[in-house]
């Protein structure tokens, strides 16, 4: 803020055009400086729409700050989005790159608010979270920061998203929730095929589905003549689970949950020798 | 990031059986045993005359007992409620319509039949048990629970096995 003020005072005072009374930028800046954000907003919006100011770097610079502070004062998607758009516009037209670092810093701040909000909204409104996360990625892409691990953030978000849908599936058992969970973890694996958490969670989803299919079967619905077909379905799920759990094991062969998972999957597949091998490994870990 | 846990823990166990939940294989066996009540006929004249339809489990298989008890809580055999009886020695054995023999008790089949002396559908879970007098023996093939049936043993025990049940089983004598 202090830096902004210094820069703006210098620039605004040094340019006679801006020093004149009635200048929209000056007025907006003065309102901003006085903490009158609503007034500053009205003035900068007028400036940004006028032919006289819309091609000027300072217009977008000031607008970015005004909207950022409006968002900080009273968080709203519209203010934040307008701040991002303003800084993006500034980067687009600032051939001098004079304000690049500062604009990118502001974009990173705004991006971080999108990310945090996306994570917080997962439990209550996952659809909104997806939109917020997309905004985070878009804002971070504007910074063109090669040192930032955007892929890592994406994986963290997708893992959290998958977990949220698994929990949702546990409570309401809707097929949509299960599919969303699977899709989230699959996307993580597309970025990192050996991701332990994604592999483990996918293994668990299919394993649990197989076990629940059997344990919840009604005695009168599964006639002996159809038992073979019924077992085929559960075996298919155990088999779907296996490669994911094995991949997780490859990454961490001493994880208790993964060892339990493998023992359970092989048990479901009636491969008792292999199941016992993992149980022995599990036992050895606790000794 | 919350790591998911399996729905239940999987404890150590002897091959083919688990000591605690979840045990999908026990449920599958329970489904088979329940279905046997529909596809096997006990002779009216010599049948076990008890108010309940009795399914016994001879030996240690707590998960199977648990599954059968779950079934018994909601199902009936015609008008008869099910009663699940778990016993661990020949001395404690009581007459049942069906008795599942745990693998480690396979050698006791002859002695058990001699003691109870009523038509019992003996269901075993060990290779070679048909030769020891079991009518139906469970085995695994291609990850699936399968069964072999001895019509000869069934006839000796005065039991009538339906052709439908024979059709989905490996028939041996």
Inter-residue contact A107 to A139 (CB < 8 Å): yes
| A253 vs A239: CA distance, rounded Å | 20
Closest Cβ opposite residue B6 in set A207, A220, A273: A207
Burial environment of residue A127 by CB neighbours within 10 A (0 to 12, 13 to 18, 19 or more): exposed
Domains parsed from chain B with CATH numbers: 25-171 (3.40.50.2300)
**What pLDDT, on a 0 to 100 scale, did the predictor assign at position B17?**
47
Residue in chain B closest to A204 (alpha carbons) equals: B6
CA distances from A286 to A245, A279, A283, B7, B156 (A): 20, 11, 5, 21, 51
Chain A hits for B71, CB-CB cut-off 8 Å, are 219
**What pLDDT, on a 0 to 100 scale, did the predictor assign at position A129?**
97
The verdict on a CB contact (< 8 Å) between B144 and A267 is: no
The residue of A239, A260, A264 whose CB has the most chain B CBs within 10 angstroms, and thus the best one to mutate to test that interface, is A264
pLDDT at B69 > cutoff 80: yes
Q: Taking each helix axis from N to C terminus, what angle separates A24-33 and A2-14, rounded to the nearest 10 degrees?
A: 150
pLDDT band at B3 (very low <50, low <70, confident <90, very high): very low
Kindly report the average pLDDT of chain A as a whole number: 91
| Three-state SS at B61 | coil
Kindly report the average pLDDT of chain B as a whole number: 87
Residue in chain A closest to B37 (alpha carbons) equals: A224
Q: Which two tokens stand for residue A141?
A: 């892409």
pLDDT band at B44 (very low <50, low <70, confident <90, very high): confident
Closest Cβ opposite residue B3 in set A257, A272, A276: A257
Beta bridge partners of B171: B149
Enumerate chain B positions whose Cβ falls within 8 A of a Cβ in A: 1-7, 9-10, 12-13, 15-16, 18, 22, 24-25, 27-28, 30-32, 34-36, 38-39, 71, 74-75, 140, 143-145, 164-165, 167-168
Q: Give Cβ neighbours of residue A86 (< 8 Å, ≥ 6 apart).
A: A48, A60, A61, A63, A64, A67
Residue in chain B closest to A245 (alpha carbons) equals: B6
- The residues of chain A scoring below 70 in pLDDT are 1-22
| Beta carbons within 10 angstroms of residue B94's beta carbon | 14
**What pLDDT, on a 0 to 100 scale, did the predictor assign at position B152?**
97
CA distances from B24 to A212, B17, B29, B30, B106 (A): 8, 10, 9, 10, 22
- The pLDDT tens digits for A68-82 are 999 999 999 999 999
Q: Taking each helix axis from N to C terminus, what angle separates A100-121 and A57-73, rounded to the nearest 10 degrees?
A: 30
The verdict on a CB contact (< 8 Å) between A197 and B5 is: no
**What pLDDT, on a 0 to 100 scale, did the predictor assign at position B48?**
73
pLDDT at B18 > cutoff 60: no
**What pLDDT, on a 0 to 100 scale, did the predictor assign at position A183?**
98
Q: State the complex-level ipTM.
A: 0.84
User: How many angstroms separate the CA of residue B53 from the nearest CA in chain A?
Assistant: 16
pLDDT band at B2 (very low <50, low <70, confident <90, very high): very low
Q: Which two tokens stand for residue A264?
A: 């359970």
The residue of B25, B28, B32 whose CB has the most chain A CBs within 10 angstroms, and thus the best one to mutate to test that interface, is B28
The verdict on a CB contact (< 8 Å) between B13 and A201 is: no
Q: Which two tokens stand for residue B90?
A: 């020949």
CATH of A195-287, one of 3.30.70, 1.10.3470, 3.30.429, 1.25.40: 1.25.40
- The pLDDT tens digits for A143-171 are 999 999 999 999 999 999 999 999 988 88
User: How many angstroms separate the CA of residue A143 from the nearest CA in chain B?
Assistant: 27
The verdict on a CB contact (< 8 Å) between A263 and B10 is: yes
Are A1-15+23-93 and A195-287 equal in CATH topology?
A: yes
pLDDT at B123 > cutoff 70: yes
**What pLDDT, on a 0 to 100 scale, did the predictor assign at position A243?**
98
pLDDT at B19 > cutoff 60: no
Q: What are the sequence ranges of the domains in chain A?
A: 1-15+23-93, 195-287
**What pLDDT, on a 0 to 100 scale, did the predictor assign at position A164?**
94
Q: Which CATH architecture has domain A1-15+23-93?
A: Alpha Horseshoe (1.25)
pLDDT band at B21 (very low <50, low <70, confident <90, very high): low
**What pLDDT, on a 0 to 100 scale, did the predictor assign at position B32?**
97
The verdict on a CB contact (< 8 Å) between A279 and B32 is: no
The verdict on a CB contact (< 8 Å) between B27 and A215 is: yes
**What pLDDT, on a 0 to 100 scale, did the predictor assign at position B16?**
43
Q: What is the mean pLDDT of residues B79-96?
A: 96
């Amino acid at each position: 803020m202090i830096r902004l003020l210094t820069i703006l005072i210098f620039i605004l005072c040094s340019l006679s055009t801006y020093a004149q009374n009635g200048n929209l930028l000056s007025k907006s800046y003065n309102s901003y400086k006085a903490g009158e954000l609503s007034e500053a907003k009205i003035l900068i919006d007028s400036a940004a729409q006028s032919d006289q100011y819309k091609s000027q770097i300072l217009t977008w610079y000031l607008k970015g700050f005004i909207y950022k502070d409006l968002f900080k004062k009273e968080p709203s998607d519209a203010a934040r989005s307008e701040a991002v758009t303003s800084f993006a516009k500034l980067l687009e037209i600032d051939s001098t790159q004079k304000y690049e670092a500062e604009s990118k810093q502001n974009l990173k701040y705004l991006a971080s608010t999108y990310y945090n909000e996306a994570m917080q909204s997962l439990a209550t409104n996952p659809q909104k979270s997806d939109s917020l996360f997309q905004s985070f990625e878009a804002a971070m892409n504007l910074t063109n920061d090669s040192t930032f691990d955007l892929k890592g953030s994406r994986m963290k978000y997708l893992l959290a998203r998958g977990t949220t849908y698994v929990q949702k599936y546990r409570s309401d058992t809707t097929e949509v929730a299960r599919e969303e969970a699977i899709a989230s973890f699959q996307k993580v694996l597309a970025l990192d095929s050996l991701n332990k958490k994604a592999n483990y969670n996918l293994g668990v989803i299919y394993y649990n589905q197989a076990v629940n299919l059997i344990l919840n079967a009604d005695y009168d619905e599964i006639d002996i003549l159809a038992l073979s077909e019924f077992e085929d379905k559960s075996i298919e799920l155990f088999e779907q689970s296996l490669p994911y759990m094995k991949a997780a094991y490859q990454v961490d062969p001493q994880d208790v949950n993964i060892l339990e998972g493998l023992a359970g999957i092989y048990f479901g597949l009636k491969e008792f020798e292999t199941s016992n091998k993992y149980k022995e490994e599990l036992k050895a870990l606790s000794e | 990031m919350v790591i998911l846990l399996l729905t239940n823990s999987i404890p150590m166990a002897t091959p083919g059986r688990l000591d605690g939940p979840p045990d999908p294989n026990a449920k599958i066996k329970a489904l088979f045993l329940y279905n046997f009540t529909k596809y096997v006929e006990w002779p009216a004249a010599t049948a076990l005359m008890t108010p309940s339809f009795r399914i016994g489990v001879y030996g240690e298989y707590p998960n199977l007992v648990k599954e059968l008890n779950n079934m018994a809580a909601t199902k009936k055999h015609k008008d008869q409620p099910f009663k699940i009886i778990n016993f661990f020695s020949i001395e404690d054995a009581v007459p049942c319509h069906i008795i599942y023999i745990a693998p480690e008790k396979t050698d006791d089949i002859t002695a058990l039949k001699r003691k109870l002396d009523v038509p019992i559908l003996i269901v075993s879970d060990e290779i070679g048990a048909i030769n020891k007098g079991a009518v139906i023996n469970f085995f695994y093939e291609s990850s699936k629970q399968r069964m072999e049936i001895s019509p000869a043993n069934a006839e000796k025990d005065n039991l009538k096995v339906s052709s439908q049940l024979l059709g989905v089983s490996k028939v041996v004598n």
